[in-house]
């Protein structure tokens, strides 16, 4: 009997489970087994079927969580670019106004935290909002000039939306991580269910190894048909009762 590797993907586990479920259904429909054997076969697949449905649902949830994270990451990336654009506009407003085109001007260096706008814009996206917020604070305390009010308003909006996008990304990442954990747990439960079903079939059908093995997916080359037979004659129950 082959089980999927413990490190195998959920897709591989679902392939093994699908083979088991399809085989279980096929055996229940054949004419060479007794009603009692049919019930034993059906019972062996009950837990596997339930665990398969659970894992399939968990995989779907993870796919949805990954899609939500991708969307949130893109949104945060765009908001980071917009924040950088507003920061550059602030720099231009200072240079075209009170800083008099001089980046070494005291007011410019104070508002821009002793950096250039490009240096702040090129910070890590997660760090940039806090630095821009400090720039905004310095700008608010600077002497009034014509563009100051509009620059503050634009920074405020960009900061609010950037922080909101970052928060949404963090939330999406958390949901994705939880989805990954629940998928992994469901994958382990399915593997255990397959292993348990094997043990139950072996105990319920002693001496019928080929029959039991037929429920479990084999990855190597197919054996000859004679090797795959269950060794029963038409109309003969697998087990004598």
Quick check: 118 pLDDT over 70? yes
- Rounded to two decimals, what is the model's pTM? 0.81
pLDDT at 219: 75
Output the average pLDDT for the chain.
91
**C-alpha distance from residue 222 to each of 15, 126, 193, 214 (Å):** 17, 54, 25, 12
Phi, psi of 194 (to 5 degrees): -65, -40
- Find out whether 142 and 148 touch, Cβ atoms under 8 Å: yes
pLDDT of residue 237: 52
Give the mean pLDDT of 86-103: 96
Q: How many helices and strands, by DSSP H and E, does the chain display? A: 8, 0
Q: What average pLDDT score do residues 190-194 get? A: 96
Q: 162 near 82, Cβ under 8 Å?
A: yes
């Amino acid at each position: 009997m082959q089980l999927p590797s413990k490190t195998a993907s959920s897709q591989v586990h679902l392939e093994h489970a699908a083979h088991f479920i399809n085989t279980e259904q096929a055996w229940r429909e054949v004419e060479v087994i007794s009603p009692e054997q049919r019930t034993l076969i059906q019972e062996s697949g009950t837990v596997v079927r339930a665990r398969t449905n659970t894992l399939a649902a968990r995989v779907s949830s993870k796919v949805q969580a990954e899609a939500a994270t991708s969307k949130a990451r893109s949104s945060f990336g765009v908001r980071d670019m917009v924040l950088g654009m507003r920061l550059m506009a602030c720099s231009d407003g200072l240079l075209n106004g009170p800083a008099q085109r001089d980046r070494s001007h005291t007011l410019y260096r104070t508002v821009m935290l002793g950096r250039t706008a490009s240096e702040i814009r090129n910070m890590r996206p997660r760090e940039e909002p806090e630095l821009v917020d400090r720039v905004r604070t310095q700008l608010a305390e600077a002497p009034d000039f014509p563009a100051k009010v509009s620059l503050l308003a634009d920074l405020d909006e960009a900061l609010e939306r950037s922080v909101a996008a970052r928060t949404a990304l963090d939330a999406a990442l958390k949901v994705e991580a939880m989805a990954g954990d629940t998928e992994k747990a469901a994958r382990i439960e399915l593997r255990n269910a397959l292993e348990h079903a094997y043990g139950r079939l072996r105990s319920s059908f002693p001496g019928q190894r080929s029959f039991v093995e037929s429920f479990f997916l084999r990855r190597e080359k197919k054996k000859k048909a004679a090797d795959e037979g269950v060794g029963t004659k038409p109309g003969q129950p697998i087990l004598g009762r």
